[in-house]
């Protein structure tokens, strides 16, 4: 049946979510704190600096996501999850 995940893939997916909770979510929280700090005084902040900070944070998040995907879940399962989300 299409969309079914094999038990070994389910285990790898569960492990990937554990890694996400342990690595990516804390990093996202830290990134949001950094963004909040950077934007605290928007009237005094150079918009180019804030944009650069956002680009850096986005690149770091993408690297974390790729790392989790590459070491735990086959690409087709990751793509299937993204499509359903």
- Domain limits, the chain: 9-39+46-84
Instruction: Name the DSSP class of 2.
Output: T
* Residues 56 and 27 sit within 8 Å (Cβ to Cβ): no
pLDDT digits (tens, 9 = 90+) for 11-21: 888 887 887 78
Task: Give the side-chain half-sphere CA count within 13 A for 81.
Answer: 14
Q: Using one digit for the tens of pLDDT, what is the confidence trace for 35-67? A: 788 778 778 878 888 888 888 888 887 887 787
Q: How far apart are CA 72 and CA 59, in angstroms?
A: 20
User: Nearest Cα to 75, choosing from 1, 14, 12?
Assistant: 12
Asked if 16 and 68 count as a contact pair (C-beta separation under 8 A), the reply is: yes
């Amino acid at each position: 049946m299409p969309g079914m995940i094999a038990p070994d893939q389910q285990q790898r997916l569960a492990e990937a979510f554990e890694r996400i909770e342990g690595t990516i979510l804390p990093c996202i929280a830290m990134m949001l704190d950094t963004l909040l700090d950077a934007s605290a005084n928007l009237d005094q902040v150079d918009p180019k600096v804030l944009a650069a900070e956002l680009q850096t944070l986005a690149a770091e998040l993408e690297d974390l996501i790729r790392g989790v995907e590459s070491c735990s879940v086959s690409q087709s399962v990751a793509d299937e999850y993204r499509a359903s989300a």
